[in-house]
Amino acid sequence: MELISSYNLIIEVSVIIILSFLFNGISKKTNIPAVLLLIGLGIILQYVLKHYTSDQVDFFPILEVLGIVGLIMIVLEAALELELKREKLIPILKSMAIASIGLGASTWAAAYILYYYIPEMTWQSAWLYATPLSILSSAIIIPSVSGLKGKKREFHIYESTFSDILGIMLFYFLSGKFDPAEDTGLVGFGGNFLLTVAISIVASYAIILIFQNIKSQVKLFLLIAVLLLLYAVGKKMHLSSLIIILIFGLVIANMQLFFKGKLAKWVNFEKAHQIYHELHTITAETAFVVRTFFFVIFGLTIAITSLFSVEVALISTLLIASIYAIRFVLVFIFEGKDILPQVFIAPRGLITVLLFYAIPVEAQIASFEPGILLFVIIGTSLIMTFAMIYEKKRSSKALKIAENRGVGSIKWKAPSVLEEKPE
């Protein structure tokens, strides 16, 4: 049976997108991350392919491209929702602190576990392998927290976005240590960061001022093409390209803040806001499609048998335990007693997979089981699921109590005016 033909591919792609839409509906009702259902679908398709054909298909190039585009769309989608207001400064700084400290502490703990339990693992490689396992997945978190209250939802959007960006920067800084030609040291890395920020700001202003004057109806995909080009060229120049996407999203989402004084005369806010709203829609749609195929193809590539290894289970359990122990301490310090469900929302996902496949050959350890990756992704996603279900039940219970509780009242009697009798 020919599975890969023109019409069959159209049918398969269409069915996967329809199923992904249904998975999103199931996710909203049950709080089970749609990502887990997509990975499960990929695993099922893996066995279907094995049944009908013995040919080995190399999905990695497709997975890598989908991962990069998906990452760009997810970060842009998150940036478009971030409001830079004075009252938001403390929540943003707090989220950044938790993301950065959590990333550093989780990476150190994971590196120690990998170094101790995997014999061939060097300390340098352990840090590189530990970094993807320590990055929060905005691809899973942002769609999953839509039902939370405003402050908690914003906290997770900020934190997961910062974790993505900081984690990617840390990964490429560490991977540069394995290639002397790319290793610029801490000073060079800092200069690289500042250069990226400067280029990002200039590019963001230029894009908005140019695109507001384009009258064509197909300019949004042109805009996305420009952003993809900037990202790819930035990576070739060893810049922190994701910052370009983040800063552009922040500038276009907060134009009143960035275009003040004389700059305000250059921008047509009505046209620019129209671009913003249309970009918000198309980014969300594109992120949905890319995320769908990334996790389905990831499910097609994983070896499910590796999950049943005792060594994989032991190492993965220790990694998950370290993630939540560190997170509990950090969230408690910064948020106080109100730590539910935030402390349990720490899934790993798209970036974890993407960076794992980007580990340079010089740093790769043959004895590292890829099953650890899958175990941690599934484990952290399931823990988030149970936490979200508990939060939903708790919120529903509190709402019912509030509705059933009678509001006290007293009878009101109109005052009477007594006429004074003449003496």
Residues 6+ apart with CB under 8 A from 44: 299
pLDDT of the residue at 3: 59
Phi, psi of 250 (to 5 degrees): -65, -40
Q: How far apart are CA 135 and CA 33, in angstroms?
A: 17
Sequence letter at residue 413: K
What local confidence, expressed as pLDDT, does residue 69 receive?
84
Q: Which long-range contacts (CB under 8 A, 24 or more apart) does 338-341 make?
A: 340/387, 340/390, 340/391, 340/394, 341/148, 341/152, 341/384, 341/387, 341/388, 341/390, 341/391
3-state secondary structure the chain: CCCCCHHHHHHHHHHHHHHHHHHHHHHHHHCCCHHHHHHHHHHHHHHHHHHHCCCCCCCHHHHHHHHHHHHHHHHHHHHCCCCCCHHHHHHHHHHHHHHHHHHHHHHHHHHHHHHHHCCCCCHHHHHHHHHHHCCCCHHHHHHHCCCCCHHHHHHHHHHHHHHHHHHHHHHHHHHHHHCCCCCCHHHHHHHHHHHHHHHHHHHHHHHHHHHCCCCCCCHHHHHHHHHHHHHHHHHHCCCCCHHHHHHHHHHHHCHHHHCCHHHHHHCCHHHHHHHHHHHHHHHHHHHHHHHHHHHHHHHHHCCHHHHHCHHHHHHHHHHHHHHHHHHHHHHHHHHCCCCCCHHHCCCCCHHHHHHHCCCCHHHCCCCCCCHHHHHHHHHHHHHHHHHHHHHHHHHHHHHHHHHHCCCCCCCCCCCCCCCCCCC
Q: pLDDT at position 108, please?
A: 95
Structural domains of the chain ordered from first start: 6-360+368-394 (1.20.1530.20)
Cα atoms in the Cβ-side hemisphere of radius 13 Å centred on 127: 14
For the chain, 423 residues long, give each residue's pLDDT as a single digit of tens.
Answer: 555 667 878 888 899 999 999 988 888 787 777 888 888 898 888 888 877 776 666 677 777 788 788 878 878 887 887 777 777 788 888 998 999 999 999 999 999 999 999 988 889 999 999 999 999 988 788 877 877 777 888 888 889 888 988 888 888 888 877 766 555 666 666 777 788 888 888 988 888 888 888 777 777 888 888 888 988 888 887 777 888 888 888 888 888 888 887 778 888 888 888 888 888 888 888 888 888 888 888 888 877 777 778 888 999 999 999 999 999 999 999 887 778 888 999 999 888 888 888 888 888 888 888 888 888 988 998 899 888 888 777 776 766 666 666 555 555 555 555 555 554
The predicted pLDDT at position 222 comes to 86
Residue 330: predicted pLDDT: 92
> What pLDDT is recorded for position 185?
65
Cα–Cα distance, 212 to 58 (Å, whole number): 42
Q: What residue type is assigned to position 400 of the chain?
A: K
Long-range own/partner contacts, residues 252-261 (CB < 8 A, 24 or more apart): 252/80, 252/204, 252/208, 252/276, 252/279, 253/79, 253/80, 253/81, 253/82, 253/83, 253/84, 254/82, 254/83, 254/84, 255/208, 257/84, 258/204, 258/205
Euclidean distance between CA atoms 193 and 240, whole angstroms: 6
